[in-house]
């Protein structure tokens, strides 16, 4: 009879420890996400979300100020999807709009 009670107490103790550790882990994950610097890919996603355009549209829009043919934009976009290799004209576009995106205080991804 006492072994059954002891097992129940062990399970109850494990549940209590788990209940205490879960909020601590969630808090740590939130702090780590907030400390991670935003990448160019993050900004591309945010700009697309704000404007209602696709990321491909952002690539095309960023190429308008540069002498980049449409075929190169297509190739660069595919390369970015595969290797996350953002071309120079998209990097310039993101840098130009980064301050505005940051001022909107969007929630993390």
Q: How far apart are CA 77 and CA 91, in angstroms?
A: 13
pLDDT at 3: 64
Which residue in 14, 97, 103 sits closest to 6, CA to CA? 14
- What is the count of structural domains for the chain? 2
CB contact at 8 A, 104 and 72: no
Alpha-helical (H) ranges within 1-109 are 2-35, 40-51, 55-63, 70-83, 88-103
Domain region containing 84? 40-103
Residue 25 pLDDT class (50, 70, 90 cuts): confident
pLDDT at 1: 47
The predicted model gives 15-28 an average pLDDT of 76
Q: What is the pLDDT of residues 10-19, one digit of tens each?
A: 787 777 777 7
* pTM score of the predicted model: 0.64
How far is CA 96 from each of CA 17, 100, 107, rounded to the nearest angstrom? Answer: 49, 9, 21
pLDDT at 2 over 60: no
Q: What is the pLDDT of residues 60-71, one digit of tens each?
A: 999 998 999 999
Residues 88 and 50 in one domain: yes
Residues 65 and 87 in one domain: yes
Residues 47 and 17 in one domain: no
pLDDT at 102: 82
Q: Is residue 108 part of a domain?
A: no
Q: How many CB atoms lie within 10 A of CB 49?
A: 13
Which residue in 83, 90, 59, 85 sits closest to 73, CA to CA? 59
């Amino acid at each position: 009879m006492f072994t059954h009670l002891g097992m129940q107490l062990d399970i109850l103790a494990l549940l209590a420890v788990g209940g205490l550790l879960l909020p601590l882990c969630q808090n740590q994950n939130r702090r780590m996400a907030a400390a991670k610097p935003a990448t160019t890919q993050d900004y591309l996603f945010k700009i697309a979300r704000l404007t209602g355009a696709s990321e491909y549209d952002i690539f095309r829009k960023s190429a308008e100020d540069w002498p980049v043919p449409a075929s190169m934009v297509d190739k660069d976009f595919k390369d970015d999807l595969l290797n996350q290799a953002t071309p120079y004209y998209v990097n310039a576009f993101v840098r130009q709009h980064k301050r505005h995106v940051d001022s909107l205080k969007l929630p993390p991804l």
